[in-house]
Structure 1
Amino acid sequence: MIRVDIRAKHFGPTQVLGTVRFDIAPGETVALVGPSGIGKSTVLRIVAGIDNRFEGNVTRPDAMAIVFQEPTLLPWRSARDNLLLTQPGLSRDGAERALTRVGLEGRGDAFPGHLSLGQQRRLSLARAFAGSPELLIMDEPFVSLDPDMADQMIGLSEALIAEHRPATLFVTHARSEADRLADRVLELSGTPASLTN
């Protein structure tokens, strides 16, 4: 069980988050929605352990993966090595299977700069799931994609989540994405931002 209990988060004298409390059960997908700038990514960084300057506490597993808005790949490493470097227990064959699963069969030797944005996003998903995370965090991973590509990526994410069943926290400003992917939708609102449902 992932347990989030944020009582306050400040940036200098400005309080940006108020009470943000929720749990995520194993295998459950929770979407966090709200307008741009409300604090969704701040909540995500706190849940991920990237930001520990807040009042409250978060209980999370060690086996965790994050898919950011941008692919955050190592440009000087091949697609295969982007998987192997982050997952030391993964075999070369396992990396190839992970690439094939996301539609990148035969692209293991390609460098990120030789992949389209959609392919880079697929590689980011492969990297996230290669380690069999107990907690998956996704920060607006479909932003800046055209509608057809976004639809494909949402479908791929749905399939991978259904196969691996991690607890998933999905941050988006698009309610349609949240309704499609999530078992439960939480909304941030107000100043300082807090949960309204």
Structure 2
Amino acid sequence: MISVDIQQKSYGDTPILGRVAFQIPKGETVAILGPSGVGKSTLLRIVAGIDPDYQGTVARPDKMAIVFQEPTLLPWRTVLQNVTLVHPDLSENAAMRMLKKVGIADKAHLFPGQTSLGQQRRLALARAFAGQPDFLIMDEPFVSLDPETADTMLGLTETLIAETGPAVLFVTHAREEATRLADRILELRGQPAVLAPHLVETGEIP
């Protein structure tokens, strides 16, 4: 169970987040919606453990993976090595099976710069799911993709989540993506941002 209870987060004298509290059981996908600049990525960094400078508590499992807006790949390593170096206990055969699942096994010998943005996003997904995480965080992973590629990536992500069953926190500004991928939707509003009152218990958006 992922448990988030943030009391406050500020940058200097500027409050960014107020009270934000929710839980995510294993197997559930929760989407966080909100306008640009409201604090979605700040919330994600706190939950991921990247930003420890806040008031409150977050309980998360050790076995965790993050998919960022940008693929954050190692450009000097091959597609296959980008998976095996992150997961040293993973065999090359297992890594190749994961690359096949995301449709880029034929790119295994290439470097990330020799692949398209869509293929790089597929590689980022493969790397995240290869470790069988208990908790997966995704920060707008389909941003800047064309509609067809984004739709394909959404379907691929749905399949991988169904196969591995992690708890998932999915941050997006696209309501359509949240509705399709998430079991429950929460929305950040206000300044400092808090969960919209009618969403705290139900997770529903009118």
**How high is the TM-score relative to the length of structure 2?**
0.95
Cα distance, 1:165 vs structure 2? 0.5
Cα distance, 1:49 vs structure 2? 0.1
Quote the residue 1:84 is aligned against.
84
Cα distance, 1:107 vs structure 2? 1.4
Cα distance, 1:145 vs structure 2? 0.4
Using the aligned pairs only, state the percent identity.
Answer: 64
1:40-79 paired onto structure 2 within 5 Å: 40-79=40-79
Question: What letter corresponds to residue 107 of structure 2 in structure 1?
Answer: R
Question: What letter corresponds to residue 174 of structure 2 in structure 1?
Answer: A
| Distance in 2 of aligned mates of 1:62 and 1:105 | 29
1:167 and 2:149 correspond: no
| Distance in 1 of aligned mates of 2:105 and 2:80 | 11
| Distance in 2 of aligned mates of 1:20 and 1:86 | 32
What stretches of structure 1 move > 6 A for 4+ residues in a row?
none
Quote the residue 1:140 is aligned against.
140
Unaligned runs of 5+ in 1: none
| Distance in 2 of aligned mates of 1:105 and 1:112 | 13
RMSD: 0.4
Cα distance, 1:105 vs structure 2? 1.9
Quote the residue 1:115 is aligned against.
115
**How high is the TM-score relative to the length of structure 1?**
0.99
1:127 and 2:127 correspond: yes
Cα distance, 1:106 vs structure 2? 2.0
| Distance in 2 of aligned mates of 1:180 and 1:96 | 28
| Distance in 1 of aligned mates of 2:118 and 2:106 | 16
